[in-house]
């Protein structure tokens, strides 16, 4: 059974942050949940659907007295938020995140933490193309993987509490080295999104010359669905995990090069 938290602060009450919050409230895993964000409209949406009990636009006010703080913002925004929160964390508080890139983020954030903060990095692999609190889904994590990538400052107790939390939210949990996580996700998640953005962009350019998208079918719609994902979030991911993504992209370019050559040569056997 997951531990109950007295006060939870969710910084970034979008699809993932909102889904965590609303599920925790339904399970009775938090006495109160405060949402922190830039857009009042989105925070009001989160309050209306019952994901949070209160909201503020001030990070320092949101984390004051919180025994669990969840970072659910684009990864490049996280260090700045931690800097602005310096001195306001409750001693012994657990800080966790939902970022898609881990190694560089951990290296940047750890030196910024207040003494006594228990940092437990995590990544729920359960995103969708829609963003915003109004799309929160308490069942979004059901049966999906969440990877916990412990930092040097992570305590065994903190890891255990976050693991039990994710299991209660419906996820399957695996512990993994941060660099291994980044290498794997570069191939199975980051590269497909990059390809979708590139393909949709090229076809839109072609469509401006000769209208063709009106004849597109289901396969193209799958690419456009992925390419609808948050540009802000994915720009951060591509830059933060650039080394691993470039490696995966080179492998893909090599495969495309072979296919192009086989088509040029009319090599039906290799194409088959």
What's residue 46's pLDDT? Answer: 94
What's residue 229's pLDDT? Answer: 83
**Cα–Cα distance between 148 and 212 in angstroms, integer?**
44
Average pLDDT over residues 208-228: 83
pTM for the full predicted model: 0.90
Lowest mean pLDDT among 25-34, 184-193, 209-218, 241-250: 209-218
Q: Is the pLDDT of residue 270 over 80?
A: yes
* 158-187 pLDDT, tens digit each: 999 999 999 999 999 999 999 999 999 999
Could you tell me the pLDDT band of residue 73, with boundaries at 50, 70 and 90? very high
Average pLDDT over residues 143-149: 98
What's residue 80's pLDDT? Answer: 95
What's residue 24's pLDDT? Answer: 97
Average pLDDT over residues 24-49: 95
Percent of the chain exceeding pLDDT 90 equals 83
Q: Is the pLDDT of residue 130 over 80?
A: no
Q: Does 229 or 57 have the greater pLDDT score?
A: 57
* 232-250 pLDDT, tens digit each: 889 999 999 999 999 999 9
What's residue 129's pLDDT? Answer: 73
Q: Is the pLDDT of residue 118 over 80?
A: yes
Average pLDDT over residues 100-126: 96
Q: What mean pLDDT, rounded, does the chain reach?
A: 94
- Centre a 10 Å sphere on the Cβ of residue 225 and count the other Cβ atoms it contains: 14
Could you tell me the pLDDT band of residue 139, with boundaries at 50, 70 and 90? very high
């Amino acid at each position: 059974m997951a531990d109950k938290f007295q006060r939870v602060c969710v910084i970034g009450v979008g699809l993932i942050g909102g889904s965590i919050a609303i599920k925790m409230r339904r399970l009775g895993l938090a006495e109160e949940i405060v949402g922190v964000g830039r857009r009042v409209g989105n925070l009001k949406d989160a309050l209306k659907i019952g994901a949070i009990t209160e909201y503020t636009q001030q990070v320092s006010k949101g984390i004051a007295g919180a025994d669990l703080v969840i970072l659910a913002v684009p990864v490049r925004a996280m260090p700045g938020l931690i800097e602005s929160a310096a001195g306001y964390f409750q001693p012994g508080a657990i800080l966790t995140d939902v970022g898609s890139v881990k190694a560089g983020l951990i290296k940047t954030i750890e030196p910024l933490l207040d003494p006594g903060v228990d940092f437990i990095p995590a990544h729920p692999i359960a995103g969708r193309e829609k963003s915003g609190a109004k799309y929160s889904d308490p069942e979004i994590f059901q049966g999906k993987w969440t990877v916990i990538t412990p930092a040097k400052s992570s305590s065994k107790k903190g890891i255990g509490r976050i693991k039990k939390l994710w299991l209660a939210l419906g996820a399957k949990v695996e512990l993994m080295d941060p660099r291994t996580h980044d290498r794997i996700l570069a191939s199975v998640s980051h590269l497909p999104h990059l390809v979708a953005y590139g393909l949709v962009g090229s076809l839109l350019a072609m469509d401006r010359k000769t209208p063709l998208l009106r004849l597109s079918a289901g396969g193209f719609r799958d690419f456009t669905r992925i390419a609808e994902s948050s540009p802000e979030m994915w720009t951060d991911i591509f830059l933060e995990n650039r080394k691993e993504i470039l490696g995966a992209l080179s492998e893909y370019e090599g495969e495309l090069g072979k296919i192009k050559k086989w088509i040029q040569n009319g090599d039906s056997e290799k194409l088959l």
